[in-house]
Amino acid sequence: MYLKMLRGKIHRATVTSVDPDYEGSITIDERIARAAGIGEFECVLVADCNNGTRHETYVIYGPAGTGVVSVNGAAARLVQTGDKVIIMAFGYCEPAELGEHTVRIALMGEGNTVEREIEHAASRGSISG
């Protein structure tokens, strides 16, 4: 059996724009996405800290160093510019692989700068087997 595990997270980024007329996705500053280990076109779950909505979409890299976090397409109706969001990427692993599993987290500061990067290793005792 495979377990769906958190793999990368951007914690409390600020939405810089919304564009309901764009064909979809979330545009993220490439430097921010890479700090969390999130790839371009990867599926992500976006949780809005201001209103509690969650939606799934895919990532498009924006220019590095710009701080852009733009929610596009239909999901643009779920968030507002200025909202804080948590962007999460997941992966699958077998229970035997948990000892090697790590999570990369980018903690965001003012102006969507990466304030701190954290890497967590999964606890070996996290799943009984």
Helix (H) or strand (E) holding 34, with range, is helix 30-35
Residue 89, token pair as written in the block: 């990427």
The count of other CB atoms within 10 Å of the CB of residue 38 is: 24
What amino acid is encoded at 106 in this protein?
A
Positions annotated as catalytic residues are 25, 58
Any idea which residue has 């500061």 for tokens?
Answer: 109
Cβ atoms of 38 and 59 closer than 8 Å: yes
